[in-house]
A and B are shown apart, each in its own frame.
Chain A
């Protein structure tokens, strides 16, 4: 699980073009949206594509993302349970 969390942090930084943020700067329970990393609605869509492309998880309702993308910790638990890749 720890390895997956580090992988997610690196992917989020790379794929969402977060400048001047390192893996060490993101805590497992930091909120990803709002006051946390400050991600926006387009970032949420990118994360949905990433779940599909990298982990084989298809979210049919984008609203589901709101709960899944709460933090790295929540994302990692969800991916571990539902991944097909």
Chain B
């Protein structure tokens, strides 16, 4: 309770101050461009505080927050992802009727929430971060108010998130009742109590927390909101949900659950195993049936979280690196894919029908090329970041001799190929001539094209030469191990 170094809080202070400043600016001078630029500057500022913080010796805001290198790495990732989302949103919102500026305020708040989440070391901060993130997301998902699908997605997310939060809180209460602590760092105590009579209460508590976390990660059987939210939300928001929201939660899960030896809790291990396997199968099989690109990506994200859980099950030192690498690759890939969807979307609706992509190559070869790279990366084909990520996860699984989940993963990536390739091949076939008329030109802002180009370069660079990133991850998460 004694150590509290306010200097360590700089990233969060910047992220907290930015929405306030922008709100004030908007109150006096409502201008889309200015707001967008201020938002981008805020993300950059927050990002630049990170190296400063990492050089501090005491980085604990006891007992709530711990800004160690692991948290800082993920914060950097989250800020970068949010930066990309903001950059992509600009031209998307230009076509949007109504107020545009509040979008950025909500985006900043949501990022603040996720940053708190990855740095939290206490149930209270965990919950606070989660709620800041969720409440902002309700509004972001339903942001285009005239669109019934957006409203539907928003309401669905609101109701289900509310229920899952209740579970989470109840679970926390049960664990607190048994352990007498709310500090996440002391969850290691669970291990010593594995054989006790308290087991039932602890297990119930853990199970409820898993429900809460599982909802955010959208793993089976808590995935039901995903397709509708992905489809209904504006494309940049979907990108945000897919990356920042899920990524921050997974980072937290990995950080604290890898401390607990899952093998001591046979049932817990089994539950995660079943969730992983079910997520892979349900995600991939249902994706086969979709004709809406956003829904395909929604189901594919369910499957990808399943892959990540396979690595999570493996446990051990190298797994954190594997998961962090995979998440980074997944962030880049997903942002690229949704970036393309954002760019192609028109005023009337998002470009989410498979038909919108037929023959894209013959109209916009570069966009089609970038989208191909993103889809191949999702499928885990060499020369892309996704391949190295998948390789890393398979290696982690085999190292722990998890043969069944690993083989299921292999089978699933074959199923996955099928629907990714279906989209890819649509990009390169000739479009039916009558469809030409109804097309809208993509709106590429300068920021949008720069961001897309940078993402694609990263995607290929990580696929060809991943050594520097692996090195960076290994040095930063060394503090965790």
A binds B: no
